[in-house]
Amino acid sequence: MDNSLPDLGWRHPDLGEPSPTRFGPGQVRVFERGTGEPIVLVHGAMVNANLWRRVVPLLASRFRVVTLDLPFGSHDRPVEKADLTPPGIASMIVETMEALRLRGATLLANDTGGAIAQLIVASRPDLIGRLTLTSSDAYADFPPAAFGFMRAAAALPGGLLPLLAPLRVRALRRLPFAQGWLTRRPLPPAVSDSYLLPAIQDRRIRKDLARVLVGLRSKHTLAAAESFREFERPVLLAWSRQDRFCPIANARRLARDFPDARLEWVQDSYTFSPEDQPERVAALVSHFVSTTEPGIEHVR
């Protein structure tokens, strides 16, 4: 087996041009493609911007697509001094959007990133023109109960490595506790490597991941939910019908709690719908952005 350190910074070229600057402050990589009304893409824990590589080209023909690459455990260099609590990561995204003059943009998020998007809606509703949540953590499911063991392991010194190290073997990644219940089909090896190897290969990134996981607490999402009634801008919930971790009941509850929300189902998909059904996700988002008004004028 080749144990050499991989290129932790590899991101798919379909994401577009990488910014020479890191934002938020200095922790967030940014990729841009296309022109027009802006859409900001937010991934979740233990993946990176590559999650959106199949969605970006489909949206970039009509919109300016800004894909964030966050220090969520699959990042390319350690960020020892960064605040990796959910509010801290939300602040990174807010600072990045402000630096790029993205006020009024549509926020499109998945999984843990969807929970962070909810915190932004609660703390900075003036920044968001529209919100789109694909299958996401919400309410008391932050993290989902099935991943509680990861959070428990992260709280122990060195607790993550025994769980992660076997995933060097690609065949084991299809186990339910790894990627098997997150995607319906196996990921391309380079993409799967980019998600898992950073925390396996680099002890400092593994420590960052532990801080992320320990900080996932439902008190954050439950508090954010108290403000949903006040967010009157358009909301799209594009939820995976066969999701194993993000309950359908949460999608229906979100649809009730947001005043202007529509719920659409994504079939033949688990949590990572941008991986399983990129065409469906892009079509839903494109139609949503094209047929609703953001309520905030975007000025670049």
Structural domain contains residue 211: yes
- Determine contact, residues 60/38, Cβ cutoff 8 Å: no
Across residues 180-202, what is the average pLDDT? 96
The pairs formed by 262-266 with CB atoms below 8 angstroms and a separation of 24 or more are: 262/234, 262/235, 262/236, 262/237, 262/288, 263/237, 263/239, 264/236, 264/237, 264/238, 264/239, 265/239, 265/240, 265/241, 266/134, 266/135, 266/238, 266/239, 266/240, 266/241
Using the predicted structure, report yes or no on whether residue 178 has a pLDDT greater than 80: yes
Structural domain contains residue 299: no
**What pTM was computed for the model?**
0.96
- Determine contact, residues 153/160, Cβ cutoff 8 Å: yes
Across residues 107-127, what is the average pLDDT? 98
| pLDDT confidence bin for 1, thresholds 50/70/90 | very low
Structural domain contains residue 4: no
Structural domain contains residue 5: no
What pLDDT shows up at residue 32? 98
Structural domain contains residue 8: no
Using the predicted structure, report yes or no on whether residue 300 has a pLDDT greater than 70: no
- Determine contact, residues 142/115, Cβ cutoff 8 Å: yes
- Determine contact, residues 144/245, Cβ cutoff 8 Å: yes
Using the predicted structure, report yes or no on whether residue 102 has a pLDDT greater than 50: yes
pLDDT tens for 257-271 read 999 999 999 999 999
Number of domains making up the chain? 1
Across residues 55-81, what is the average pLDDT? 97
Using the predicted structure, report yes or no on whether residue 3 has a pLDDT greater than 70: no
| pLDDT confidence bin for 24, thresholds 50/70/90 | confident
DSSP string, 111-132: EHHHHHHHHHHHH-GGGEEEEE
The CATH number for 76's domain is 3.40.50.1820
Across residues 115-138, what is the average pLDDT? 98
Using the predicted structure, report yes or no on whether residue 177 has a pLDDT greater than 90: no
What pLDDT shows up at residue 68? 98
| pLDDT confidence bin for 4, thresholds 50/70/90 | low
Domain extent, residue 125, equals 13-291
| pLDDT confidence bin for 296, thresholds 50/70/90 | confident
Using the predicted structure, report yes or no on whether residue 298 has a pLDDT greater than 90: no
| Nearest in space to 195 (alpha carbons), one of 184, 203, 207, 187 | 187
Across residues 138-154, what is the average pLDDT? 94
Structural domain contains residue 174: yes
Structural domain contains residue 85: yes
Q: What is the DSSP letter of 164?
A: H
Q: To the nearest whole number, what is the mean pLDDT of the chain?
A: 95
What pLDDT shows up at residue 161? 97
| pLDDT confidence bin for 25, thresholds 50/70/90 | confident
Structural domain contains residue 95: yes
Across residues 146-168, what is the average pLDDT? 94
